[in-house]
Amino acid sequence: MEPLKFIGATAFAVIIARWGADAGLAWLNRREVQAHAGAVPLAYRDTMDAPTYQRSVDYTLSRSRFGLWSDAWEVLVVLALLFSGVLPASFAAVRDALGSSAWADAVWIFAIGVAMSVASLPFEAWAQFRLEQRFGFNTTTVATWCLDRIKGFLLALALGYPLLVLILRLVDWMGPRWWLWAFAVFLGFQVLLLVLAPVLILPLFNKLTPLPDGELRTRLLQLGQRAGFNAQTILVMDGSKRSRHSNAFFTGFGRFRKIVLFDTLIAQLTPVELEAVLAHEMGHYKLGHIPRRLAGSAALMLAGFWAIAWLLARPEFAAAFGFAPGSGLAPTLLLFGLLSGSVSFWLSPVLNHWSRVHEFEADAFAARNMASREPLQGALRKLSEKNLSNLTPHPLYSAWHYSHPTLLEREAALARVPV
């Protein structure tokens, strides 16, 4: 087989293999869920009624069916972009109109990204206003949903486009080692976002208000002192503006660190259960999970930029998809972006296993600091019930798709923690 045809055939096979494997995992998961659909799992018969469990089964199966359609559409869009000739044709058209420069090439990459986002909008809308609405989770309006996407586009334009231009320029400025500089710039940008997001970006989408004085605030501040974790601010976010799903997280670094609680979470849990959830999140910081995760992400990012540089040095890669010799970094960068997800998919079990180990450790930290397993166990059960979580996923599906252990796994691990 000719080299160019071999590259194209390999890319096609990688995409189809990823899609087929994911569809197979979804099929296994549906079978597992249906096999346990007749009765509430024995461990939860005292805490979850049959109608709620049946809704969780229906929700899981509905999301799985929807996922098959949306994933198939995404694969079709990627294949159309790669093999229809639209990418080299649009690239040539942009260069004819704007010239050959990093600014023009960035316009092309940005436009392709916007086109792909627009193509996915019908599925996003269906998920929000049909699927989530059907199970009582959606609380957003069409106006808010549209405004969120407009804000996201403007943020990408204001922050992502200049970053893209800078990375494209580094090839000319830094020579063969450009990819090391690109990695450093991109990593620095991500760290800067972690600092600025809670101050500049998050308030564009949600209202954040200080947690009022009372039992909950006193508990959380005392917990922080006990655990040696001092946050400057405890904020409540109006998550109910968009969904009844709940969450809690820490954001920022050092003296800019903030605790953020969804208002839905506060409504669903008792103060002692909320304290246990926050103790779990503090555990991630105190046990060094955050810097380790950042280091792991940085290592993968570095490998990605090295791979882009390696592909850029082989003109036959871009040529296999119709690009003319001397097209520069932009085509290789976009092609890598389109193909990388199908490759990184096979790393998911390893990355998820690492994440689950951290979750077990944070659970144990919370139990020890609360001097009891019951508050966290109660919170986990309530959150699983309120969010209609899948209580019986297939082990292989869980390995590929769950960054957190299942409820049964977490409770079994908690039972072994000395308190």
Kindly list the catalytic residues: 281, 363
CA distance 217 to 235: 10
Structure tokens of 387?
A: 């969010």
Work out the number of other CB atoms within 10 angstroms of the CB of residue 51. 9
Q: Which residues have a Cβ under 8 Å from the Cβ of 258 and sit 6 or more positions away?
A: 198, 231, 232, 233, 234, 235, 250, 251, 252
- Kindly list the distances between the CA atom of residue 28 and the CA atoms of 25, 81, 106, 341, 404, in Å, as whole numbers in the listed order: 5, 30, 41, 22, 19
Q: Is the dihedral of CA 316, 319, 325, 331 positive or negative?
A: negative
Work out the number of other CB atoms within 10 angstroms of the CB of residue 56. 23
Q: Tokens 């001092």 appear where?
A: 230
**Using CA atoms in the order 206, 207, 211, 212, what is the torsion angle rounded to 10 degrees?**
-160
